[in-house]
Structures are given as structure tokens and as C-alpha cells.
Amino acid sequence: MRAQEYQNIQVSTPETGVALIRLNRPKALNALSNALMADVNAALSELAADTSIGAVVFTGNGPKAFAAGADIKEMQNQTFSDVYGGDMLSRWTKLYEFRKPTIAAVNGYALGGGCEMSLMCDIIYASPKAVFGLPEITLGVIPGAGGTQRLTRAIGKSRAMELILTGKTFSAQEAEKWGVVSKVVGDGEDEVVHEAVKTAAAIANKGRLAVLAAKESIKGADELSLSQGIQLEKRIFHSLFATPDQKEGMTAFVEKRKPKWAHESHL
């Protein structure tokens, strides 16, 4: 266990350079309560400052759910003044803004806020029994943590309209076919987490500055025009020539040996 203990999540280090965050409200299917999201944000702040960590894996505790959505009981009696004045869901942006790579290992249900949380991650792996969906329409609302935007970018307008306006769920196999997830892994919770940790370890073993830079550039593809994105990529590429890892990586290639990354101390 890391330096800080949390009430609603479990944080561990299953591999060198990798942190694993388990959403830990199994009796509530890991519903994303305010307290749980506060724990997630606190853990992300800790991990952002931890120079030993190069990538983070998210999963749910138990085989039934990654996260079955936001905690409806907390929202049920809220008014417009409450949610607008209190800027509800504002604390959910920290995951998307987190600079180190993140992987969602989805086991069971990823619905509503749980689906949105997985979409905020950089890579998604799913178990064969994973189920995704944005069923907020059945509650008289719409997705509020980026679901209408990120799912549409992932699968296109027509399919996103169908799923969000009907509240229909979709399977792991459909998610893979449509490009929502990178791949469907194994036949249970342990396999998908193991594969996600394995990939996270491979990422953490790369030069940390280049990894951060690549993530920033890829995210730009969602938010910028093509010409702006290419300009961003070029400038980031140029900037990496000021780093020790660029010198080490290219020298190691020429000398036909494995690079010894510096993992700069501020990462």
C-alpha cells in the first residue's frame, strides 16, 4: 500500500513503475460517489508527484462491475441551483488532465459515469463479459462527464446517437469492433488486469518525457485541426532534442544496445 490510505479505492504497485487503482465499492457495483472521486483525485495528485510511477491502471473491485455509474442516490434530490452552483462533475476532469498514461481494465459493467471514466483513460482493455453504456436518458438526464463528446469521437455520430438516445448497452466485442477498446482480453477479471498492468509496465519502461510528450500530442488530435495538430507534434518533436533521453536513445540505437533512460527527476 502507498503512503496514503483511502476509503473508497485501493492503490497498489503491481509492477515497477505501475500504479493500480481499484475502485472499491463492490456492494454498490463501484458506483462513483463524491467520496470515491475525491479519493481518485487525491491518488492522482500523489501519483503525479511520484517519480517512480510511469503509468496508471484503473479497474473495479469484483467481477460484476468496473463502475456501474455515478451514485444516483447522491444526485436524486439535487436541484439546478445545487448542481450548477456547486459545479457538479467538475472534479471528474482530473483523470483526463492527468499527464501520465492511464489504462482502464474493464471487468463487468461500465455504465454511465463508469463508461465515461473508461473513455477518459488513454487505453481501454475489456474482459469478454464487460458491458458498456450511457443510459442516462432513462433517468431523465444526459451524460455529463464527457460521454456525448468522447463516445461520438470514438464511434461516430450515428452510432453514438443510437446508443445515447435509447440508453442501450453494448458488449465488449462490439466495443472492440467499433474502436472503443483496444482489445478484449482473456475470460475474466484477473486476465484483463494482468494485461493492462503488462502494457503499463512496457510504457513505464520507456523514456518518461517522450511518453508524456506523445500523450500530449495524441490528445491534440481530438481537440485541434489537422494543421494545428501537426504543428503541435512538430514543436514537441523539436523540444525533445533538448532532453538527455533523446541523446541516450539515439546513441543506444547506433551502438546497438538497450537505452538507459534518465527518467528525469521531475517526472
Query: Could you report the per-residue pLDDT of 213-223, keeping only the tens digit for each?
Result: 999 999 999 99
Q: Answer whether residue 222 is part of any domain.
A: yes
Would you state the cell numbers that stand for residue 49, as one nine-digit string? 508527484
Which member of 112, 113, 114, 133 is catalytic? 113
Which member of 70, 104, 196, 204 is catalytic? 70
pLDDT at 44: 97
pLDDT bracket for residue 264 (50, 70, 90): low
Q: Is 176 a catalytic residue?
A: no
pLDDT at 263: 72
Backbone angles phi, psi at 178, to 5 degrees: -85, -5
Q: Is 113 a catalytic residue?
A: yes
Q: Answer whether residue 261 is part of any domain.
A: no
Q: Answer whether residue 260 is part of any domain.
A: no
Give yes or no: residues 128 and 232 share one domain: no
Give yes or no: residues 228 and 152 share one domain: no
Mean pLDDT confidence for 218-237: 96
Asked if 14 contacts 59 with a C-beta cutoff of 8 angstroms, the reply is: no
Kindly report the CATH number assigned to the domain that includes residue 141.
3.90.226.10
Range of the domain at 240: 208-254
Which member of 67, 108, 116, 130 is catalytic? 116
Give yes or no: residues 146 and 61 share one domain: yes
Regarding predicted confidence, which is higher, 89 or 18?
18
Count CB atoms within 10 A of the CB of residue 9: 22
Q: Is 116 a catalytic residue?
A: yes
Q: Is 70 a catalytic residue?
A: yes
User: Rounded to an integer, what distance in angstroms lies between the CA atom of residue 201 and that of residue 199?
Assistant: 5
pLDDT bracket for residue 201 (50, 70, 90): very high
Give yes or no: residues 224 and 118 share one domain: no
pTM of the model: 0.94
Opening angle at CA 123, ends 59 and 93, nearest 5: 75
Say yes or no to pLDDT of 225 above 90. yes
pLDDT at 251: 97
Kindly report the CATH number assigned to the domain that includes residue 250.
1.10.12.10
Query: Which is it for strands 102-106 and 123-126: parallel, antiparallel or unpaired?
Result: parallel
* Cα separation values, 33 from 40, 50, 79, 90, 189, Å: 11, 26, 17, 13, 22
Would you state the cell numbers that stand for residue 69, as one nine-digit string? 455509474
Q: Answer whether residue 177 is part of any domain.
A: yes
Say yes or no to pLDDT of 189 above 90. no
Say yes or no to pLDDT of 161 above 60. yes
pLDDT at 191: 95
Mean pLDDT confidence for 2-7: 74
Number of domains in the chain: 2
Last residue of a domain, one of 204, 223, 239: 204
Backbone angles phi, psi at 86, to 5 degrees: -90, 0
Say yes or no to pLDDT of 16 above 50. yes
Say yes or no to pLDDT of 1 above 50. no
Which member of 15, 136, 176, 195 is catalytic? 136
pLDDT at 63: 86
pLDDT at 257: 96
Closest alpha carbon to 61 in 1, 14, 20: 20
User: Rounded to an integer, what distance in angstroms lies between the CA atom of residue 150 and that of residue 61?
Assistant: 25
Give yes or no: residues 127 and 248 share one domain: no
Q: Answer whether residue 80 is part of any domain.
A: yes
Give yes or no: residues 114 and 183 share one domain: yes
Give yes or no: residues 80 and 132 share one domain: yes
